[in-house]
Chains A and B, each alone.
Chain A
């Protein structure tokens, strides 16, 4: 009772106008002080960087460069700057010339930043300004929305727990309770903000508004919210921070976003089913439908509330993940060459939005297919007893499948020079690169090759050429089964936006030492010449050979990715709300979770169906008939499921974000279409049921 009274008293105090004004001034002052200090540090950093750049890039650059290379330090304006000698040697040449002045400056000033100052904010001052504005807005919003007491209690509680961890010496745990407090506060603020947005007088707004209360006060949804907001700050503890930074970031992105989507999807499904089923079961709907609230409005309000709640959870989780990635990216400044390379890979391969193209492969037309089948029938002794028209349909289908698979493998395969039927290179045609050509964006060919024993400890030689001419190409090593890349200049792109890339099989040659690609060299004679190794055919999988170029920032790509995830949640919410107008809670849950699982595995199921085979078209015995019936049923059900749900499973923006690929607006439109078609369709069916369903029951005793 005492705590309740205290809380009420504090709540009353925070509603006082003078109190709000005082706290507002304090928050604005704190935000200004913190970020102002950061900006001052950055200004000082820029001044020193300018002085170092002037020395290393000026007339006496060589002198200063040699001084740095020899001593690992020098003094400018009375201040000494130093760096590890092994790193300096990779950046300053023996003649004293500096290859990358900015990197040297960065290295020399790495210790001039106070420990408390976030590096990533210092690196990007525009972000610091934005965060200062955001902090001020959020702080003022918390105060004037009446959330100061709960937020302060959460932050104080988190701080107290962090202090306990600090005293116990559990340094890696210190940030966890603070982060949980921040995340819960953010969640509260967003929910309150949404409720303000939904404070209109429309019926669906009232329903959605109340659903947010339901989610915040009942165990069903709250369990998921708390689980997610506690698990997210714990995730960093699962990371191997000794690994290269690009892999650490990829691992965190994958885990945090996958966890956020999974937990939110479960919550959306349960809450979507529960809120309507329980309204009907507990007869709340008697109150609602005897008010001037149309049933479409009721259903739409429930859907909007569930969807918005999912959006809030994704926003909180996404903001946290994005912020933590920036922290990871900038908090561990690279000191060794490997760290620099990892940092480069992070920026070029992960924290980027890369538009990717796959080769336009040759297609097998019907004439080609028929010709090849006829050839097999003629040549294969197994078919010697058949007249052409007598071949069973199932056998014919098997042959078609075999021909197509052979053709598909052949177009992703480069034979060796020892195969007299073909040449040891394959030219792949890319299209749609006009934008990269116009903007002069560098291309990156990413591939993963297989061949021989596909042993990752093996190193082999491969050549890459652009255009038809193999005389101006590069060669270098490749390691089977490992992903690799090679950069291509945008000038290689044709005027029509197409690009031909030839892969030359040089596996009969010894690979060069080191990882550098070498060229130009005429690959044709090299490929046709003999070598001292046993060559093998090289091939790749369809999804593992593509060319791409940076076409946007990671931030905007990240937002698009979250939007696509949110629209997928909207599909689930619509489905859950629609189904729960008809079924009881347990049955509705069973249906929607089954559908969600089916949609998630539909892409893999699609692959499985290829292996499932064509089946026996001419059963003769009872057993064969039974088998035919079962297989046909399974194939029909699976085929329908794949046809309806595969795209839901294929739209995986998290995979795109992890690999630095663009989540295009086309994805967004597709997800929106899915939300409207599937989510909206389920809602319309639910509305039809709800308008025809008699919500009351017979309560008499006859």
Chain B
């Protein structure tokens, strides 16, 4: 899937970060010569197991760490440039907020750091608290909050400046399924407005549901990159979904398949997802007006986050007006793999309907049980060269 435009929000070339001990011996090579392009308007996933270099990469993007070598620009400027940060929103892996401030004061504080006017700060704070479901505890100190509530207020502070480039490090960590779903919805809403989002996670479902493109890191190196479809497509299998079939129909289909040299491997009745079940139960409880002292159901995406679309290019142009942008060599677009058309004849025989392109659903649970993600990570863990067969995979 192509991004909405080719303006580069993040460009990294040979980005390396080593951590050294007192004697300057390399203790850990957290990021090892990675090349990264994040384009305006896309949701970019940074995927990898713990210690793979995701957080270190993000810290370098934010100017919290300096690269040991390589080049890095964010919105066309060095990441330590204060002007760049006006357009960035950041949710760290853990929420590090002042425990003595209330959510309202917290958002007001961060709003002030962005130079927002008082009226705007108040309006945005109220809308964000409503959005993350903390309006009812707006005057309680943050220190009294549960981890999930802290994540919610952390997310709100990351959005207070209506950022053009949003960096979310494990955004759903500590959130209940409702909050998780809201975060995914929010990400998709923001993408529709042309925002650029970098999502770092080791929760594969999160990344799969919302990301346009992703890279997979292991040992500080990029092991695979490309669009979600490119990376997840299993060219060896075909899944057909239909209404309930009786055994006779299944037998007839099996006969057709056998005629083509194939056979049904497994027939199963799909079960309801646990997430769906949970959401149904909570919804039922809310209809019964059951009381809770925690976070309530979040509202719609804050109104100020739904205002007119933003073009990432415009932001960069704005930054470029003051300082000439350092040119970074363009990265070669990842090659788009051609689908293996070996199964088309079988499909044509079964269904005479035209193929419809897969539309990006709005934060729906995974369509079918699949062990694709786990096997992918397993294969990464083995650290062998077999990944080279995947489309867009780095050798």
Per-residue 0/1 for A277-301: is the Cβ within 8 Å of any B Cβ (1 yes, 0 no)?
A: 0000011101111111110000000
Pairwise interchain contact B94-A702, C-beta atoms closer than 8 A: no
Pairwise interchain contact B98-A210, C-beta atoms closer than 8 A: yes
A206 within 8 A of partner (CB): yes
Residue among A209, A210, A217, A218 with the highest chain B CB neighbour number at 10 A: A210
B118 within 8 A of partner (CB): yes
Pairwise interchain contact B113-A292, C-beta atoms closer than 8 A: yes
Kindly identify which residue among A205, A214, A289, A290 contacts B98, using a CB–CB cutoff of 8 Å. A214
Kindly identify which residue among B19, B55, B98, B113 contacts A291, using a CB–CB cutoff of 8 Å. B113
**What is the chain A residue whose CB lies nearest that of B160?**
A291
Knowing A210-B109, A287-B110, A694-B65, the reply to whether A217 touches B100 (Cβ < 8 A) is yes
Residues A197-225 near B (CB distance < 8 A): 199, 201, 203, 205-206, 209-210, 213-214, 217-218
Pairwise interchain contact B114-A213, C-beta atoms closer than 8 A: no
Complex CA distance for A349 and B118, rounded to whole angstroms? 52
Knowing A201-B115, A701-B50, the reply to whether A290 touches B30 (Cβ < 8 A) is no
Q: Which A residues are CB-close (under 8 A) to B112? A: 201, 203, 205-206, 209
Residues A658-702 near B (CB distance < 8 A): 694-696, 698-702
Complex CA distance for A509 and B63, rounded to whole angstroms? 85
Knowing A201-B112, A696-B65, the reply to whether A287 touches B97 (Cβ < 8 A) is yes
Q: Which B residues are CB-close (under 8 A) to A289? A: 62-64
Main secondary structure of the interface of A (DSSP, over half): loop
B105 within 8 A of partner (CB): yes
Among the 9-residue stretches B80-88, B179-187, B199-207, the one with 4 or more Cβ atoms under 8 Å from chain A is B80-88
Kindly identify which residue among A282, A701, A702 contacts B96, using a CB–CB cutoff of 8 Å. A282
Q: How many residues of A contact B (CB 8 A)?
A: 31
Pairwise interchain contact A292-B97, C-beta atoms closer than 8 A: no
Per-residue 0/1 for B59-91: is the Cβ within 8 Å of any A Cβ (1 yes, 0 no)?
A: 100111110000000000000001101101010
Complex CA distance for A700 and B19, rounded to whole angstroms? 10
**What is the chain A residue whose CB lies nearest that of B58?**
A696
Kindly identify which residue among A203, A694, A699 contacts B55, using a CB–CB cutoff of 8 Å. A699
B36 within 8 A of partner (CB): no
Q: How far is the CB of A642 from chain B (nearest CB, A)?
A: 36
Q: Which A residues are CB-close (under 8 A) to B92? A: 283, 286-287
Residue among A210, A214, A287, A699 with the highest chain B CB neighbour number at 10 A: A287
Pairwise interchain contact B98-A292, C-beta atoms closer than 8 A: no
B51 within 8 A of partner (CB): yes
Pairwise interchain contact B51-A213, C-beta atoms closer than 8 A: no
Pairwise interchain contact A292-B64, C-beta atoms closer than 8 A: no
Q: Which A residues are CB-close (under 8 A) to B63? A: 289-290
Q: How far is the CB of B77 from chain A (nearest CB, A)?
A: 12
Q: How far is the CB of B136 from chain A (nearest CB, A)?
A: 13
B362 within 8 A of partner (CB): no
Pairwise interchain contact B114-A290, C-beta atoms closer than 8 A: no
Q: Which A residues are CB-close (under 8 A) to B110? A: 287, 291
Complex CA distance for A254 and B113, rounded to whole angstroms? 43
Pairwise interchain contact A696-B64, C-beta atoms closer than 8 A: yes
Q: Which B residues are CB-close (under 8 A) to A210? A: 98, 101, 105, 109
B296 within 8 A of partner (CB): no
**What is the chain B residue whose CB lies nearest that of A298?**
B113
Q: How far is the CB of B181 from chain A (nearest CB, A)?
A: 25
Kindly identify which residue among B52, B86, B96 contacts A284, using a CB–CB cutoff of 8 Å. B96
**What is the chain B residue whose CB lies nearest that of A692?**
B66
Pairwise interchain contact B100-A214, C-beta atoms closer than 8 A: yes
Pairwise interchain contact B85-A291, C-beta atoms closer than 8 A: yes
Knowing A287-B97, A292-B83, A696-B65, the reply to whether A206 touches B113 (Cβ < 8 A) is yes
Per-residue 0/1 for B342-370: is the Cβ within 8 Å of any A Cβ (1 yes, 0 no)?
A: 00000000000000000000000000000
Pairwise interchain contact B115-A290, C-beta atoms closer than 8 A: no
Kindly identify which residue among A205, A218, A287, A700 contacts B53, using a CB–CB cutoff of 8 Å. A700
B117 within 8 A of partner (CB): yes
Residue among B63, B64, B83, B113 with the highest chain A CB neighbour number at 10 A: B113
Q: Which B residues are CB-close (under 8 A) to A218? A: 100
Pairwise interchain contact B113-A288, C-beta atoms closer than 8 A: yes
Q: Which A residues are CB-close (under 8 A) to B53? A: 700
**What is the chain A residue whose CB lies nearest that of B59?**
A696
Pairwise interchain contact A284-B51, C-beta atoms closer than 8 A: no
B56 within 8 A of partner (CB): yes
Q: How far is the CB of B60 from chain A (nearest CB, A)?
A: 9
Residue among A288, A289, A290 with the highest chain B CB neighbour number at 10 A: A290
Complex CA distance for A273 and B370, rounded to whole angstroms? 53
B28 within 8 A of partner (CB): yes
Per-residue 0/1 for B30-67: is the Cβ within 8 Å of any A Cβ (1 yes, 0 no)?
A: 10000000000000000000111101100100111110
B257 within 8 A of partner (CB): no
Pairwise interchain contact B51-A700, C-beta atoms closer than 8 A: yes
**What is the chain B residue whose CB lies nearest that of A295?**
B82
Knowing A284-B96, A696-B59, A698-B28, the reply to whether A293 touches B64 (Cβ < 8 A) is no
Q: How far is the CB of A293 from chain B (nearest CB, A)?
A: 5
B175 within 8 A of partner (CB): no
B157 within 8 A of partner (CB): yes
B116 within 8 A of partner (CB): yes
Complex CA distance for A217 and B142, rounded to whole angstroms? 12
Q: How far is the CB of B99 from chain A (nearest CB, A)?
A: 9
Complex CA distance for A205 and B115, rounded to whole angstroms? 11
Q: How far is the CB of A686 from chain B (nearest CB, A)?
A: 18
Complex CA distance for A203 and B83, rounded to whole angstroms? 13
**What is the chain A residue whose CB lies nearest that of B49?**
A701
Complex CA distance for A218 and B65, rounded to whole angstroms? 30
Q: How far is the CB of A4 from chain B (nearest CB, A)?
A: 10
Pairwise interchain contact A206-B109, C-beta atoms closer than 8 A: yes
Complex CA distance for A553 and B157, rounded to whole angstroms? 53
Complex CA distance for A289 and B79, rounded to whole angstroms? 11
Kindly identify which residue among B83, B90, B141 contacts A290, using a CB–CB cutoff of 8 Å. B90
Per-residue 0/1 for A599-622: is the Cβ within 8 Å of any B Cβ (1 yes, 0 no)?
A: 000000000000000000000000
Pairwise interchain contact B113-A293, C-beta atoms closer than 8 A: yes
Per-residue 0/1 for B168-184: is the Cβ within 8 Å of any A Cβ (1 yes, 0 no)?
A: 00000000000000000
Q: How far is the CB of B27 from chain A (nearest CB, A)?
A: 8
Q: Which B residues are CB-close (under 8 A) to A293? A: 82, 85, 113
Complex CA distance for A699 and B17, rounded to whole angstroms? 13
Pairwise interchain contact A283-B94, C-beta atoms closer than 8 A: yes
Pairwise interchain contact B64-A695, C-beta atoms closer than 8 A: yes
Pairwise interchain contact B98-A284, C-beta atoms closer than 8 A: yes
Q: Which B residues are CB-close (under 8 A) to A288? A: 113
Q: How far is the CB of B93 from chain A (nearest CB, A)?
A: 8
Knowing A206-B109, A283-B96, the reply to whether A290 touches B64 (Cβ < 8 A) is yes
Kindly identify which residue among A199, A292, A694, A701 contacts B86, using a CB–CB cutoff of 8 Å. A292
Residue among A206, A293, A700 with the highest chain B CB neighbour number at 10 A: A700
Pairwise interchain contact B101-A291, C-beta atoms closer than 8 A: no
Kindly identify which residue among A199, A283, A287 contacts B118, using a CB–CB cutoff of 8 Å. A199
Complex CA distance for A135 and B85, rounded to whole angstroms? 46
Pairwise interchain contact A694-B66, C-beta atoms closer than 8 A: yes
Per-residue 0/1 for A410-448: is the Cβ within 8 Å of any B Cβ (1 yes, 0 no)?
A: 000000000000000000000000000000000000000
Q: How far is the CB of B62 from chain A (nearest CB, A)?
A: 5
**What is the chain A residue whose CB lies nearest that of B61?**
A290
Q: Which B residues are CB-close (under 8 A) to A694? A: 64-66
Q: Which B residues are CB-close (under 8 A) to A699? A: 55-56, 93
The 5 closest A-B pairs by CB, nearest first: A206-B112, A696-B64, A700-B51, A217-B100, A702-B28
Chain B interface (Cβ < 8 Å from any Cβ of A): 19, 27-30, 50-53, 55-56, 59, 62-66, 82-83, 85-86, 88, 90, 92-94, 96-98, 100-101, 105, 109-110, 112-118, 141, 157, 161
Q: List 7 A-B contacts (CB under 8 A).
A: A217-B141, A287-B110, A696-B59, A698-B27, A700-B55, A700-B56, A701-B50
Contacts A205-B112, A286-B64, A289-B63 known; list 13 others, CB within 8 Å: A214-B100, A284-B98, A286-B90, A287-B90, A287-B96, A290-B62, A291-B110, A292-B114, A292-B115, A293-B82, A293-B113, A696-B65, A699-B55
Chain A interface (Cβ < 8 Å from any Cβ of B): 199, 201, 203, 205-206, 209-210, 213-214, 217-218, 282-284, 286-294, 694-696, 698-702
